[in-house]
Amino acid sequence: MKSLILTAVLVSGLTFLAGSGASAQQDSVKRKKFDINYGLGINIGGKKDSTGKIDQNKGRFVGGITFTRLDIGFSKLIDNGSFSLSPANQFLDYKAWKTSHLSFDVLQMGYRFNSNFKIYVAGGFDWTLIRLKDNITMQKNTADLTYINEPIIFSKNRFSSSYLHIPLNFELRTKENNKGRRWYLIAGPEVGFLLNGKVKQISDERGKEKFKDDYNFAPFRYGGTIRVGTNGLALFAKYYASDMFDSTPQKGLKNMAFGLTFGLN
């Protein structure tokens, strides 16, 4: 988790540094056909109003490097439509309040049709962190998801996956009220590509141990996301329609996530 926090801080710092050069860039482009503003992204095109600002009701391309849509929440496993695990998957029983989801976007590119509607494709990373109840260890390099029972007690036994995700978002937002607040509805499909799987264990006997493998997590997955919120805070829900594992005994085992989104730009 510390590495995830450091990654988020690093990306935020890069975004800030990019934004600090905005004023220097504006003078060099204001006579060109395209207006480009750096910072949290890039606006290409778009007509200016009488004050010299981009007219929000005119269409324009938007995108660039960003750090937004930070999702922090809980994950749930769904076994062939049930929140209860079948006997074949009972070894994956987990601590619900310690099984979490974390994701964020670092790139986006799309088109804003007007001040209320935008379509964009983004790119980022996400993690599903399953806190297992049983004292087991997942085995590496096996044809199906396999585990062994351990003769020790783990104070932490975390089984996780990380993915590169690419969502296509459709964003609706209301007009600003007199306090500058507006509501957002963001929804769309998403695909993901496995980066790695990981086991992290802590025990008195062995101390801290980490193991990496694909652990039969699906190399490719697909699903969808919906967010509803105002300004920089929203509720999110994600559902992955593809199987969680590329392992025959786990066929039909899927996962979902829900929680809070910080940042909606």
- Asked if the structure places residue 32 within a domain, the reply is no
Looking up residue 138, the CATH number of its domain turns out to be 2.40.160
Establish if 256 belongs to a structural domain.
yes
CA dihedral 71, 74, 79, 84 (to 10 degrees): -160
The tokens describing 181, both together, are: 């607040």
Count of domains in the chain? 1
- Number of C-alpha atoms within 13 angstroms, CB side, residue 124? 27
Measure the CA–CA gap between 35 and 108, rounded to whole angstroms.
Answer: 18
β-partners of residue 104 are: 125
What are the backbone dihedrals phi and psi of residue 25, each rounded to the nearest 5 degrees, phi first? -75, -30
Sign of the alpha-carbon dihedral angle for 130, 164, 248, 137: negative
Per the structure, the complete domain to which residue 157 belongs is given by 66-262
Place of tokens 């324009």: 60
How far is 116 from 173, CA to CA, in rounded Å? 5
What is the pTM (predicted TM-score) of this model?
0.81
Question: What does the pLDDT profile of the chain (265 residues) look like in tens digits?
Answer: 445 444 444 444 444 334 434 333 433 333 333 333 333 444 455 555 555 565 666 788 999 999 999 999 999 999 999 999 999 999 999 999 999 999 999 999 999 999 899 999 999 999 999 999 999 999 999 999 999 999 999 999 999 999 999 999 999 999 988 888 899 999 999 999 999 999 999 999 999 999 999 999 999 999 999 999 998 899 999 999 999 999 999 999 999 999 999 998 7
148, part of any domain: yes
Q: In 56-166, where does DSSP find H-type helix? A: none
